[in-house]
């Protein structure tokens, strides 16, 4: 009986560690997003975001402008983008984690004939359960120019 009680205590003690080990890290979320883009999978893309996601783009006037509000809008946005750019490719250049934020610098190629990738920086803000609740995007002004 003592062995069973001991075993139960050990299992109870290990459960929180098992739970923590199964959490998706901020870096893993960024890698999942890039994987989703490269696999042209809008559903996989949005799995990393909170239902109340807000995406802001840095504007020419120096302010961030709300471009996407909510998970459904994000799914529609990403689906349309992946359809419009079927050869899009994405590579992470740098990741930096600060508190509840992750900063990702990545390169994006919209077409295979473009030799140089375009730089994009996203600042992901995470909620309490580890999903992305806000994205601030800074991208090259010529990203969508055809070359």
Spell out the domain ranges in the chain: 24-139
pLDDT above 50 for 32: yes
Q: Are strands 49-58 and 132-139 parallel, antiparallel or unpaired?
A: parallel
Contact 78, 53 (CB under 8 A): no
E strand map for 19-131: 49-58, 64-69, 89-98, 101-109, 118-126
The token pair at 17 is 């560690």
Percentage of residues in the chain with pLDDT exceeding 70?
Answer: 82
Q: How far apart are CA 13 and CA 52, in angstroms?
A: 34
The answer regarding whether domain 24-139 maps to CATH 3.10.450.50 reads: yes
The CA radius of gyration of the chain, in Å to the nearest whole number, is 19
Contact by Cβ (8 Å): 122, 45: no
Are the beta carbons of 91 and 120 closer than 8 angstroms?
Answer: no
Both tokens of 100, joined, read 């509840």
pLDDT digits (tens, 9 = 90+) for 81-132: 999 999 999 999 999 999 999 999 999 999 888 788 899 999 999 999 999 9
pTM greater than the 0.85 cutoff: no
């Amino acid at each position: 009986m003592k062995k069973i009680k001991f075993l139960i205590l050990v299992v109870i003690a290990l459960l929180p560690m098992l739970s923590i080990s199964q959490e998706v890290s901020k870096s893993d979320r960024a890698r999942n997003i890039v994987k989703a883009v490269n696999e042209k999978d809008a559903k996989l893309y949005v799995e990393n975001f909170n239902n109340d996601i807000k995406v802001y783009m840095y504007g020419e006037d120096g302010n961030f402008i709300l471009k996407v509000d909510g998970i459904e809008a994000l799914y529609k946005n990403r689906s349309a983008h992946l359809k419009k750019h079927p050869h899009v490719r994405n590579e992470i250049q740098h990741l930096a984690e600060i508190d509840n934020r992750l900063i990702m610098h990545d390169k994006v190629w919209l077409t295979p004939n473009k030799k140089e990738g375009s730089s994009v920086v996203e600042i992901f803000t995470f909620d309490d359960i580890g999903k992305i609740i806000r994205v601030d995007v800074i991208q090259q002004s010529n990203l969508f120019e055809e070359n």
